[in-house]
Amino acid sequence: MKLLILHIIFIVMLNSANLIAAENIDPGIIEKLRVTYYSGVENEDYIDSLKTIITKNFGENISRYPALILAYHAGIEALKSKHSFWPFTKMTYLNDSMDIFEKAITNEPENLEIRFMRYSILYFVPGILGYESEEQNDLEKVYQLLLNQNYSVVDFGLQKGMAEFILQSGSLNETELNKLYRIFGSKNGDE
């Protein structure tokens, strides 16, 4: 079921138009990153393609990456973790991913896409690994940013996909659920 929820979100995200004017990043590059990243969730062969897109367009020096690109770089590490076999290797990649995400969030704490990316990764990470605090903080921030209804950087379609993921995650109370349903659709799926 969780995998189905992610697939729905990814399809919505891939079909959404984007405005990335805040960082002056070519929207076509962001679209390529999204498509490749979400393809990499199921197929590890896309990880190298994702890294190539980033280095070709932004260089090798990650300290110079805009926050959103840094988040996609963190996503590479998360994908490596997902597709690794050995537990120690999985943890190493996950910890590297979370360190890079922390830098991206420090640079842009109000960036909805970055916060959602980390939340959607941590949602699937077992609580015993110690990232519950970051997961909860991201959930709260994503929820608040969705309520703002600011579509200047992340359009309505993309935000709707994010909201659907959160609505189906079971992480919100009834009042919070109802607020998101009012913005993004009813409990019955009607708009």
Query: Which pLDDT belongs to residue 115?
Result: 98
* Burial zone of 100 (CB within 10 Å; 0-12 exposed, 13-18 middle, 19+ buried): buried
In the predicted model, what is the mean pLDDT of the chain?
Answer: 88
- Tell me how far apart the alpha carbons of residues 152 and 15 are, in angstroms, rounded to a whole number: 17
Q: What is the pLDDT of residues 37-56, one digit of tens each?
A: 999 999 999 999 999 999 99
Task: Please say if the pLDDT value at position 86 is more than 80.
Answer: yes
Task: Please say if the pLDDT value at position 104 is more than 70.
Answer: yes
Domain ranges of the chain: 2-184
Buried b (16+ CB within 10 A) or exposed e, 5-15: bbeebbebbee
- pTM across the whole model: 0.85
Q: What is the pLDDT of residues 159-190, one digit of tens each?
A: 999 999 999 999 999 999 999 999 998 554 44
With contact defined as beta carbons under 8 Å apart, do 163 and 180 qualify?
yes
Task: Please say if the pLDDT value at position 155 is more than 70.
Answer: yes
Q: What is the pLDDT of residues 12-43, one digit of tens each?
A: 444 443 334 345 789 899 999 999 999 999 99
Closest CA to 161 of 50, 68, 52, 34: 34
Query: Which pLDDT belongs to residue 1?
Result: 52
Query: Which pLDDT belongs to residue 7?
Result: 47
Choice between 74 and 154, residue whose per-residue pLDDT is larger? 74
- Tell me how far apart the alpha carbons of residues 61 and 118 are, in angstroms, rounded to a whole number: 22
